[in-house]
Amino acid sequence: MHDAPMQMLAHAVRQHGLVRFIEHFAQQFPDCHLKDVVVEEMDAHRGMVVNGRRVVNFGSDSFLGLDQDPRVREAVVRGVGKWGTHNGASRAFASVRANVDAEEKLAQWLGVEATLIYPSVTLANLGAIPGLVGRRDVLVVDEHAHNSIQEGAKVARANGVRLLPFAHGDPLDLERALREAGDYRVAVVAIDGVYSMTGALPPLKALNEVCQRSRAVLYVDDAHGTGVLGRRGRGTVLDALGNYDNTFVVGSLSKAFSCAGGFIGCTREFQRLLKMRSNTYIFGGPVPPPYLEGVCAVCDILMSPEYDLLADRLKANLRRLIDGANRLGLAVLGGETPIVSVLVGDEAATLSAGRLLFEAGYYIQSVTFPAVPYHGGVLRIQVNANHWPESIDGLLDALRQLQRVIPLPGPDALNHAA
């Protein structure tokens, strides 16, 4: 008797290398995997309950702690009273006033002519990247760019656009790729403003100089820089380049903003063009209006003197963690952003390290291949402004205890990891 088509399909999907890899580790280390966990409770200072155990969450990208800010929460509640839970229409047909207000406030805060809000950063990249380039153009992508950029690039390539990679953060290799591309109308170069696994920053100025010499526009996914880097939290681009003349900047509304959605900062001309050319804008549905009211409240906070207090608290917590990790002699990746990775290496050791920290009361994301290079596993720690300093000290003590059980690489290992 033949298997049912659904069983055959499931078997086929299981043959994919990534699925086989993940299922292998889930079977080999069922108690260490700590993926797809269910959070049962949360408090205002990153305490949470997972599987009946109370732990401190160092896996949240709500970096400024604004998810717990009463003004943001009240704005969302007011939005429910005003708009209901959802307005139920594609933005190609209608937008609620809160959507327009949020885009105008974002533009004012960011320092651009206009912004365009999408349901998420992933949908922004999946819609905007294929929408910006055509068959006569070329799309050049950093080899370590975020998965959503890579997926958007695949859509563009399927539409007939030439797709070229370049070595991570390397202006010389970008120049080579553009030179070897031959004849093209215009190029778009897609990179991250902050690389999410390591917290590393690209050489934006040098990359943009190559772009300007080569009829290329820089497209920067600054999701992990939004709200936490640059003056007033405007991210990496403006401080590095001084303007947005040759740059699209993509920002997140679900990380430091603690709401929902993503946006692209651009000119008014491109705002209109992207409305026509981004399929995910047309067919993706809108951000629920209550969260747009929350976005407006966050913009008010970021444009006020209070932002400096939030940023200083976050920087102090980050410095506390970095200094402590360095004293322990750990191999620390990052440090300029609230994403800090501690190198472990072996996949099994990385998963076991995450489990031991969890049992000590700290939830850390254990990141292994394919999100990072093979045997380049890391403990990915995300620092928030509303972490108690005592929680950071406790995590450092847990890392010290971990070193007695699992040999963790020292700073010299970073030269090999690079």
Q: How many of the other CB atoms lie within 10 Å of CB of 289?
A: 23
Looking at domain 27-57+306-417, its CATH superfamily turns out to be Aspartate Aminotransferase, domain 1 (3.90.1150.10)
Q: What single DSSP character describes residue 42? A: E
Residue 124 has pLDDT above 70, yes or no: yes
Contact 341, 353 (CB under 8 A): no
Helix axes 289-302, 70-83, angle to 10 degrees: 150
Q: What single DSSP character describes residue 345? A: E
Q: Where in the chain are the domains? A: 27-57+306-417, 68-302
| H or E stretch at 264 | strand 262-266
Q: How many of the other CB atoms lie within 10 Å of CB of 53?
A: 12
Q: If 0-12 CB within 10 Å is exposed, 13-18 middle and 19+ buried, where does residue 31 land?
A: exposed
Phi, psi of 76 (to 5 degrees): -65, -40
pLDDT of residue 35: 75
Please state, in angstroms and rounded to a whole number, the distance separating the CA atoms of residues 417 and 396. 23
| H or E stretch at 124 | helix 121-132
- For strands 262-266 and 114-118, give the pairing: antiparallel
The identity of residue 78, as a single letter, is R
Over residues 202-255, the pLDDT tens digits come to: 999 999 999 999 999 999 999 999 999 999 999 999 999 999 999 999 999 999
Q: How many of the other CB atoms lie within 10 Å of CB of 16?
A: 10
Please report, in angstroms and rounded to a whole number, the separation of the first and last CA atoms in the chain.
53
Strand ranges in 85-146 using DSSP code E only, listed in sequence order: 114-118, 138-142
Please state, in angstroms and rounded to a whole number, the distance separating the CA atoms of residues 110 and 235. 8
Q: Tell me the Cα Rg of the chain.
A: 22
Rounded to two decimals, what is the model's pTM? 0.92
Over residues 131-152, the pLDDT tens digits come to: 999 999 999 999 999 999 999 9
Over residues 45-100, the pLDDT tens digits come to: 999 999 889 999 999 999 999 999 999 999 999 999 999 999 888 899 999 999 99
What torsion, rounded to 10 degrees, do the Cα atoms 377, 121, 226, 417 define? Answer: 20
Q: How many of the other CB atoms lie within 10 Å of CB of 206?
A: 16
Class of domain 68-302: alpha beta
